[in-house]
Each structure stands twice: as structure tokens, then as C-alpha cells.
Amino acid sequence: MRETTGAKSFRIVVLTLLSIFTIVPVYVMVTSAMKPLADVQGAFTWWPSSVTFAPFIDMWKTVRLADYFVNSLIVAGSATILSLIIAIFASYAISRYRFRGRTIFSTTVLSTQMFPGVLFLLPLFLIFVNINSTLGIQLVGTRLGLVITYLTFSLPFSIWMLAGYFDGIPHELDEAAKVDGCGPMGALLRVVLPAARPGLIAVAIYSFMTSWGEVLFASVMTTDANRTLAVGLQLYSTQTNVYWNQIMAASLVVSIPVVIGFLLLQRNFVAGLTAGAVK
């Protein structure tokens, strides 16, 4: 079916507006990061009066950004790895086995996505406090507690998406692997996982992005020693001044790992989301 001239013009206009809506904030962030503080605090200009890279240097001194960067990498990386491992086994069981409570479990996992995350803040906090008082395991104000918190967000969607992706992989591959001498674990590791690579990458990217930029739970569940980047950026605002140019520079640096990773794995990410969503 050929596209009409009107439809083509409408598509071009919509795409142009969406591009402007996306590019302008990024442009403002980049140019503001290269402005002196006086320029950022004054009247808005589309280009700095004098280009400076001092904010990219000063941002490491004003705030302990390097420490927060390491904390975010540890927390987001740990949450991503654990989420991926647990989701693989849970979704494989849902996809390949018929057991009592399978439907209830799948529905419960998916239904957790219906509630806003803020509803879980107080219950999780109270659970962590009770665990500390009962078992002596400190979770509030630790990286471990934050990793567990992020698992509660990423796991349900990861399990649901991977289960849909595994359903699209023919069961005959499992049977062929078992004929060759593989058990259920061997079939999963040697046959199913290589075929599910796009889905695994999509789950990993989703889990990492969910943990990397989260603010609310990180502001409650962390202390100054293990604060993450999303919370650390707030420290550029003091009682006497707001270092807007350094905030923009830090935001740009913080965004680089996620943007690069997404661009490199974009094809697999889209393929994994599409396949999982269809099922």
C-alpha cells in the first residue's frame, strides 16, 4: 500500500517535532555545561558568551562524584546480574514446565507492575528495619539493601518478558539437546540461552537503566558513604548557590555510559522487547 502525500507530510511534521522535542533539551544541557556560572544564572542564551570546560573539572571537586559513580556501578551492575540470573530460571520454568500454581505465579508477577513504585517505599523500609532488629542484618543505608530494592522493580518485568521470549523458542530444541545427552540445565545453558540472546540483552539493559537513574528509593535507602549518582547530583545545590553549569556537566557525564551501551545494543534490545511483548 503506497503512502499518500498527505500521510507522508504528516509523518514528516510529527517526526520533526519529536526530534526537536528530543534534541533541544540535550543541546541546552551541553551548552550550559560549557558556560560560566554567571551566564547560566543570567538571561538564557542559546550559545555561551565564552566557552569553558572548567565545569567538567570542577564538578569532581564540588561533589564526590567519583565515589558516587562507583556506588552506582556496583549497585546497578549487581542488580542487573542478579535480576538476569533469577529471571532466566524463573521464566524458563514458566515457559517449559506445567506445575501447580503456574498461572497464579505468572499473574502475580505481572500484576506487580500495576502499582506505582512509591507504594513499596514504606513497606520495604519497615521490612529492612525488622530484618535488622531480628537477624542483625543491616540493609537500610547499605548497597545490599539498595540492590534488593531494585530487584523488586526489575524482576517482575524481566521474568514476564523472558518467559514470552522463551515461549517463542521451539521446544524441539530442548528435546534435541536431551537426545544428545543434555539434562534440563544443559539444554537451558547450551541451547535456549544462546537462542535467547536478544531477550537477555533487553532484560539486562532494562534492569541496568532502572537501577542507574532511580532517585526516590536511593535517597531513603542510602547514606553519604554509599550514595548513588542520581542522589549525588542534588548536592550541587547548596544553601548559598546552585552550580547549574556543573549540574549540566555531571548530568552529561552520567548519561554517557547508558547512552553508549544502549546505542551499541540497540538492535538486540528492540528485538528482545518486540519478541517478548508479542508473546
pLDDT of 84-143, one tens digit each? 999 999 888 888 888 787 778 777 777 777 777 778 888 888 889 899 898 888 888 888
> Which domains does the chain show, CATH number per domain?
54-278 (1.10.3720.10)
Question: For the CA atoms of 32, 35, 36, 40, what is the dihedral angle to 10 degrees?
Answer: -40
pLDDT at 267: 66
Residue keyed to cell 547548596: 238
Residues paired with 242 in a beta bridge: 237
Tens digit of pLDDT for each residue in 32-64? 888 888 888 777 778 877 888 888 888 888 888
> Cα dist. 82→10, 87, 204, 210 in Å?
45, 8, 10, 14
Distance CA 176, CA 29 (A): 54
pTM: 0.80
Confidence of residue 278 (pLDDT cuts 50, 70, 90): very low
- Cβ-Cβ contacts under 8 Å for 168 (sequence gap 6 or more): 275, 278, 279
- Is residue 237's pLDDT more than 90? no
pLDDT at 206: 83
